[in-house]
Amino acid sequence: MRVSIDALVAGLMEIERHVSNLGWDQPARLFALVPTLELIAAEPQLAEHLVGGVEPAPDHLSAIEQEGFAPGADLGAALARISWPGTVSGVALSLERFFLPGAGDSDLPVGPAADDRVRQDPDREEIRVVVGALRSGESHGVARIRSHPDELLSGRDLVPGLAAALARTLD
């Protein structure tokens, strides 16, 4: 089944809303994205929980959190060890990071020392990103900055490196 980019964006927004309800300072969370109609066909008892009695769009995606995902210090290596069965149409990851606004990061060292320095900087900002990729190769991301909780950023190239790493888990 072909999943549209609109279905991916809607799924990412649902994930962001779910994670947002849990508050800040959350661990990275990994989600399999599966077509809702296929999930309901395989598990009819889930229909009421997934769509509340409303017929979902044909390409609607349901996010299934992967309990126990603990990437440790090397997220890239953790993602490189993951592969998905053909029933999974896409994958999404939610994570929080600190950053320095403007040119504040221009003199940062490389590696873990940079992370420590950013965490200790009084001008740091915190961002939550939810990035997803589909088997078709399309990807998208949404983000919320902690100091601007009512604004949701969105874009295809929001976090391209993370989107590429997620897409590789679908190969």
**pLDDT value of position 45:** 80
Cβ-count burial 67-101 (b if 16+ within 10 Å, e if not): eeeebeeeeeebbeebebeeebbbbbbbbbeeebe
Q: Mean pLDDT for each 10-residue chunk of the chain (171 residues)?
A: 89 96 95 93 78 75 94 91 95 93 65 70 90 96 96 94 96 88
Long-range contacts of 157-163 (CB under 8 A, 24+ apart): 158/129, 158/131, 159/129, 159/131, 162/93, 162/129, 162/131, 163/131, 163/132, 163/133, 163/139
Longest CA–CA span in the chain (Å) reads: 55
